[in-house]
A and B are shown apart, each in its own frame.
Chain A
Amino acid sequence: MPPVSDSPGARRVEKEAVIVVAALADEFFRLAHHDTTGKPLLHPRATSLGLAAALIGELVCEQKIMVRDGRVYPWRRTPPADALAHATLDQIIAQPQHTLVGTWLEFLSQTAYTDVATRLWRAGHVRPVTSRKLLRSATVTYIPTDLLTAAGPLIGLTKILRSGGSVTWAEGFLLCLAVATDLAAQLVRDLPKEAADHLDRLRAAAPGEISDLAAVTASAVGNAVLSYRT
């Protein structure tokens, strides 16, 4: 991958791009589902909003878009390698009249779940199983094909929280997103109290674009509760 910029932030991304950049939404999907059964750990609305935020996060991490003061701006128009990220970026570029992160979260969350699950399925990470229960509509569960990959993000993040170590942009982003979607309570439940404190410190020091994305996500998740209707 050619150097994208000479700012220090960009170099960091370049170094880690191969490992994490395209996978933020995949990683959040894994975090939000049980690693063997594929059962969701969060309610559908929070999962969808978290995945939408992660899709935006992928583009921010690849420096295709910029998040400032709760708004999204296209930055570099060279298409990302991943097809879903490419499609998302095209949407953002084509509709410059919509800049609020909240609007994009709302929009992307409508399809994010199926989109990300499909991406995982195409890469062979999950297999969809349709189940029917009495009086309920059919539900699709995406069962992980490999336990180690599926448990990867959870193991990695709990290790950081236990050790009190530092995080990369991507790891920090996932942690902040987990807090914003109320997933973090499950993450730190079995950990010592120091882990929760470390999580608070990490969040307080988060870069502006991550705090913004996490704040808008948390607000949308909370709003979904307040204006819930059937």
Chain B
Amino acid sequence: MAPPSVSAPPTFSPVSDTLAADRLGVPQVIFFVMSAATPLTVTAGVVTTAYATTGLLGLPSAFVAVGLLLALFSVGYVAMSRRVGNCGAFYSYLSRGLGRPAGVAGAWVALLSYNCLQIGLYGAVGAAASPLLDQWFGVTPPWWAIAGVAWALTATLGLLRVDVNGGLLAVLLLAEVAVIVVFSVTDLFHPAGGTIAFSPLSPANLSGSGVGALLVLAVLGFVGFESAVVFSEESRNPRRTVPLATYLSVALIASLYTLASWAMTVAVGPERIVETSREEGTEVIFNLADAHLGATAATIGHTLFVTSLIAAMIAFHNTTSRYMYALGREGVLPRRWGRTSASTGSPHIASMTQSALGLTVIVLYAMAGWDPLVTLFYRGGTGGGLGVLLLIAATSIAVVAFFLRHPSDETLWRCRIAPVLAMAALLVVVVLALNNVDVLLGVAPDHLLVWAVPAAFGVVAALGLGWGLVLRATQPAVYARIGLGAKAALGEEGALGRVGEDGCDPPVIPAARHGLGDGARGSGEELWR
């Protein structure tokens, strides 16, 4: 392990010591990132539904490819994060790199995408909990009743700001990872037909038609990897902790999902995985465990699938409401959304808005009788995944543009080569994805959704762009602060300094010493005695 690059503080400083005691190291940051990624939701829910809907085998190789691509993207992304106000949110990068109207467009696309991802999860929880409720209590309630309970739980926790306890989340996460690894290794020991098939891992799978769909699905598994940078101000050594945590998270997610999605094909047989997934849905992985490890293992897996889904719901609910909160703080959305509840400190208005949206969709699907797993969970998830892919691609352009305009002390690799390579590759992925929307959603090529889903993102982005331009013309003060998040209160970027910059040499004390109350701003000075 390399020695820490920052030397010890030059002088004794209780301030540094006190603040450092609460700082995060690499493992903690990885835990925060991974617990939002909720691996079992992806493995049991997304992977199986993806096999069923796309009918393609290449998902394991797609996870590898997207993992490498996002690692490359992270090089420039992490380097730029040190210069961005609200560094956990892609739209901040857009507004710094491509201009503030692009930032608003990105923010609106992000809101749409994260809402799709969050609300989509309500569609899966019914399918996930039904077998358990049947086994334990002998009841099979309709999916919307289970989704309603999950919704009430999420809405309440969001309002009370009782984020599920960090320790509990860590235990759940470790259990999920353990279950996935054990199930997958067992699958590898029980290959269909007696031989382990390596064909799903072949890069050749990424050359056929429908590859764009596979890449979007893989991106979906990585959503949340971008959040490590949120903790840069709270990490022990931002220059080391944050990049390391980001790369390790990407590597962990990629290995886990590649293993799980490949093992599934080995145990079922590559030629039968699509058919089996269509028949058994999210049960594939648990049925395999039932056959090879016994009913108890399957029950443990089922239980963790439900807790994983609920944890994912809460995580995406909080992400979405914090997005709205940050935008409300900036004045881009109504300022109401930027308020917190006085007693709990939760962004309660943003939280209630997201919950209201979720309930509306659940009620709509229940009344229309649409299939929750395919039309809500899978399409919500893939639609959201497509939105996140578009955001990542736009952010990669913003990183390149930013470093072109702001020369920095970063290495050539970090601020030029890696960002340009990542941008080129991501743009290829976007083109492939937009060509394969039919395969992605599992509909006929002439289906309404094939152009309606991308168009929805286009329209929302255009509206955001327009709103950004309106703000420029009518509210310059708000316009100047787009992309700063909670730091919008500080005025334009860097006006009042950033915490990370403190602790170096003392700056020169201003020579002119004014008395109190000097330099009053704006009009109305007579109001101050």
Q: A207-B528, A229-B166, A230-B165 are in contact. Are A110 and B18 (CB under 8 A)?
A: yes
* Of A13, A97, A185, most B-chain CB atoms within 10 Å: A97
The answer to whether A227 touches B496, judged by C-beta atoms less than 8 angstroms apart, is no
Binding stretch for chain B, among A4-12, A125-133, A139-147: A4-12
B510 within 8 A of A: yes
The answer to whether B521 touches A211, judged by C-beta atoms less than 8 angstroms apart, is yes
Q: Which residues in window 179-230 of A have CB below 8 A to B?
A: 180, 182-183, 185-186, 201-202, 204-209, 211-212, 215-216, 218-219, 221-230
Q: A8-B515, A10-B516, A66-B513 are in contact. Are A100 and B502 (CB under 8 A)?
A: yes
A70 within 8 A of B: yes
Q: Which residues in window 440-490 of B have CB below 8 A to A?
A: 485-490
Chain A window 65-77, contacts with chain B (Cβ cutoff 8 Å), 1 for yes, 0 for no: 0101111010100
The answer to whether A100 touches B14, judged by C-beta atoms less than 8 angstroms apart, is no
The answer to whether A100 touches B340, judged by C-beta atoms less than 8 angstroms apart, is no
Chain A window 142-184, contacts with chain B (Cβ cutoff 8 Å), 1 for yes, 0 for no: 0000000000000000000000001111001000000010110
B525 within 8 A of A: yes
Cα–Cα, bound, A45→B340 (Å): 12
The answer to whether B505 touches A97, judged by C-beta atoms less than 8 angstroms apart, is yes
Q: A7-B514, A103-B19 are in contact. Are A70 and B496 (CB under 8 A)?
A: yes
The answer to whether B515 touches A205, judged by C-beta atoms less than 8 angstroms apart, is no
Residues of B within 8 A of A41 (CB): 342-343
Residues of B within 8 A of A226 (CB): 86, 88, 230, 322, 325-326, 485-486
Residues of A within 8 A of B230 (CB): 226-227
The answer to whether A166 touches B527, judged by C-beta atoms less than 8 angstroms apart, is yes
Q: Which residues in window 212-242 of B have CB below 8 A to A?
A: 230-231, 233-234
Cα–Cα, bound, A228→B325 (Å): 13
Residues of A within 8 A of B509 (CB): 73
Chain B window 341-360, contacts with chain A (Cβ cutoff 8 Å), 1 for yes, 0 for no: 11111110000000000000
The answer to whether B516 touches A169, judged by C-beta atoms less than 8 angstroms apart, is yes
The answer to whether A75 touches B521, judged by C-beta atoms less than 8 angstroms apart, is no
Chain A minimum-CB-distance residue to B227: A227
The answer to whether B529 touches A12, judged by C-beta atoms less than 8 angstroms apart, is yes
Residues of A within 8 A of B19 (CB): 103, 106-107
Residues of A within 8 A of B507 (CB): 71, 99
Q: A12-B529, A230-B165 are in contact. Are A98 and B502 (CB under 8 A)?
A: yes
Chain A window 82-119, contacts with chain B (Cβ cutoff 8 Å), 1 for yes, 0 for no: 00000000010001111111111011001000000000
Chain A minimum-CB-distance residue to B22: A110
The answer to whether A167 touches B527, judged by C-beta atoms less than 8 angstroms apart, is yes
Q: Which residues in window 333-385 of B have CB below 8 A to A?
A: 338-347
Cα–Cα, bound, A186→B163 (Å): 25
Shortest A188–chain B CB gap in Å is 13
The answer to whether A102 touches B502, judged by C-beta atoms less than 8 angstroms apart, is yes
Shortest A7–chain B CB gap in Å is 3
Residues of A within 8 A of B342 (CB): 41-43, 182-183, 185-186
By secondary structure, the A interface counts as: helix
Among candidates B515, B521, B526, B529, residue contacting A168 with C-beta atoms closer than 8 Å: B529
Shortest B496–chain A CB gap in Å is 3
Chain B window 138-169, contacts with chain A (Cβ cutoff 8 Å), 1 for yes, 0 for no: 00000000000000000000000101111001
B519 within 8 A of A: yes
B203 within 8 A of A: no
Cα–Cα, bound, A123→B486 (Å): 37
The answer to whether A205 touches B340, judged by C-beta atoms less than 8 angstroms apart, is no
Residues of A within 8 A of B166 (CB): 229-230
B5 within 8 A of A: no
The answer to whether A201 touches B524, judged by C-beta atoms less than 8 angstroms apart, is yes
Q: A207-B517, A211-B521 are in contact. Are A225 and B497 (CB under 8 A)?
A: no
Shortest A168–chain B CB gap in Å is 5
Residues of B within 8 A of A100 (CB): 497-499, 501-502
Interface residues in chain B, defined as those with a beta carbon under 8 Å from any beta carbon in chain A: 9-11, 13-16, 18-19, 32, 86, 88, 161, 163-166, 169, 230-231, 233-234, 322, 325-326, 329, 338-347, 485-491, 495-499, 501-507, 509-510, 513-529
A-B contact pairs, 30 of them (CB 8 A): A9-B514, A42-B345, A43-B343, A60-B516, A66-B513, A73-B510, A95-B14, A97-B503, A98-B13, A98-B15, A98-B16, A99-B502, A102-B498, A103-B502, A106-B19, A107-B15, A166-B526, A166-B529, A167-B529, A206-B520, A206-B528, A209-B519, A215-B491, A219-B487, A219-B496, A222-B329, A223-B233, A226-B86, A226-B88, A227-B234
Interface residues in chain A, defined as those with a beta carbon under 8 Å from any beta carbon in chain B: 5, 7-10, 12-13, 40-46, 60-61, 63, 66, 68-71, 73, 75, 91, 95-104, 106-107, 110, 166-169, 172, 180, 182-183, 185-186, 201-202, 204-209, 211-212, 215-216, 218-219, 221-230
Q: Known contacts A218-B486, A226-B485; can you find 20 more A-B pairs with CB under 8 A? A: A12-B516, A43-B345, A91-B14, A95-B15, A97-B11, A97-B505, A100-B499, A201-B527, A204-B522, A207-B519, A207-B520, A215-B490, A218-B489, A219-B496, A222-B485, A225-B340, A225-B346, A225-B486, A226-B486, A229-B163
